[in-house]
Amino acid sequence: QHTWAAEKFAMKPSDPCKRLVLFYHDILYQEGDDLANATSASATNHTKLGGDFQFGRLVIFDDPVTLDRNLHSTPVAHAQGFYFYDKKTDFNAWMTYTLVFNSTHYKGTLNIMGADLMGVKTRDLSVVGGTGDFFMARGIATIMTDAVEGIKYFLLKMDIKLYECY
Amino acid sequence: QHTWAAEKFAMKPSDPCKRLVLFYHDILYQEGDDLANATSASATNHTKLGGDFQFGRLVIFDDPVTLDRNLHSTPVAHAQGFYFYDKKTDFNAWMTYTLVFNSTHYKGTLNIMGADLMGVKTRDLSVVGGTGDFFMARGIATIMTDAVEGIKYFLLKMDIKLYECY
Amino acid sequence: QHTWAAEKFAMKPSDPCKRLVLFYHDILYQEGDDLANATSASATNHTKLGGDFQFGRLVIFDDPVTLDRNLHSTPVAHAQGFYFYDKKTDFNAWMTYTLVFNSTHYKGTLNIMGADLMGVKTRDLSVVGGTGDFFMARGIATIMTDAVEGIKYFLLKMDIKLYECY
Nearest to A9 by CA among C158, B6, B110, B116: B6
Please indicate whether, in this complex, the C-beta atoms of C55 and B41 are within 8 angstroms of each other: yes
C residues 116-155 near B, CB within 8 Å? 117, 124-128, 138-140
Whether the per-residue pLDDT at B4 is higher than 50: the answer is no
Q: What residues are paired with A126 via a beta bridge?
A: A113, A140
pLDDT tier at B9 (50, 70, 90 boundaries)? low
Q: What is the CATH number of the domain that holds B122?
A: 2.40.480
Burial bucket for residue A73 (CB in 10 Å: 0-12, 13-18, 19+): middle
For residue C2, pLDDT beyond 70? no
Instruction: Give me the half-sphere count of Cα atoms (radius 13 Å) on the Cβ side of residue A164.
Output: 29
Tally of domains within chain B: 1
- Test C113 with B128 for CB contact under 8 angstroms: yes
Whether complex ipTM tops 0.85:
yes
B104-115 pLDDT per residue, tens? 899 999 999 999
* Percent of chain B with pLDDT strictly greater than 70: 92
| pLDDT at residue A32, as a whole number | 86
| CA dist A57 → A51, A61, A90, C59, C60 (Å) | 9, 13, 14, 11, 9
Whether the pLDDT of residue C155 is over 50: the answer is yes
CB contact under 8 A, A7 and C3: yes
Extract the runs of DSSP E, i.e. beta strands, from C75-152. 77-85, 93-102, 107-116, 122-132, 138-149
Give mean pLDDT, residues B95-119.
96
Buried b (16+ CB within 10 A) or exposed e, B4-16: ebbebbbeeeeeb
Contact B126, A111 (CB under 8 A): yes
In this prediction, residue B15 has a pLDDT band, given cuts at 50, 70 and 90, of confident
Per-residue confidence (pLDDT) for residue C4, from 0 to 100: 44
Q: How far is CA A120 from CA A19, A63, B26, in A?
A: 22, 22, 40
For residues B66-74, give the mean pLDDT.
96
Whether the per-residue pLDDT at C101 is higher than 70: the answer is yes
Other CB atoms within a 10 A radius of the CB of residue C151 amount to: 18
Average model confidence (pLDDT) across chain B: 92
Closest by Cβ to B55, choosing from A41, A109, A111: A41
State whether residue B80 sits within 8 Å of chain C by CB.
yes
A95 vs C87: CA distance, rounded Å: 25
pLDDT in tens, C126-140: 999 999 999 999 999
Sign of the Cα torsion C148, C150, C153, C158 reads: positive
Q: Is the pLDDT of residue B37 over 70?
A: yes
Q: What is the pLDDT of residues C6-65, one digit of tens each?
A: 445 655 667 899 999 999 999 999 988 889 999 999 999 999 998 799 999 999 999 999
Task: Give the SS3 label for residue B43.
Answer: strand
By Cβ distance, the residue of A82, A98, A129 closest to B138 is A129
Roughly how many angstroms between the first and final C-alpha of chain A, as a whole number? 18
Which chains pack against B, by 3+ Cβ pairs within 8 A?
A, C
Size of interface B-C (CB pairs under 8 A): 110
Report the run of H or E that residue B6 belongs to, with start and end. helix B4-7
pLDDT 10s per residue in chain A (166 long)?
234 444 456 556 678 999 999 999 999 999 888 899 999 999 999 999 987 999 999 999 999 999 999 999 999 999 999 999 999 999 999 999 999 999 889 999 999 999 999 999 999 999 999 999 999 999 999 999 999 998 899 999 999 999 999 8
Q: What is the pLDDT of residue C15?
A: 86
Amino acid at A44: T
Question: What's the confidence (pLDDT) of residue C34?
Answer: 84
Range of the domain at C101: 4-164
- Residue C84 CB contacts under 8 Å (≥ 6 apart), including other chains: B43, B60, B82, C44, C56, C57, C58, C59, C93, C94, C95
The answer to whether residue B33 scores a pLDDT higher than 90 is no
Are residues A86 and C62, on separate chains, in Cβ contact within 8 Å? yes
Q: Which of B2, B41, B130 sits opposite C49 (nearest CB)?
A: B41
Q: Which helix (H) or strand (E) element contains residue C76?
A: none
Which region among A82-86, B7-11, B46-50, C108-112 has the lowest average model confidence (pLDDT)? B7-11
CB B76 within 8 A of CB B67: yes
Measured in residues, chain A has a length of: 166
Q: What is the mean pLDDT of chain C?
A: 92
Res. C68 pLDDT band, cuts 50 70 90: very high
- Separation between Cα atoms, residue B40 and residue B51, nearest integer Å: 19
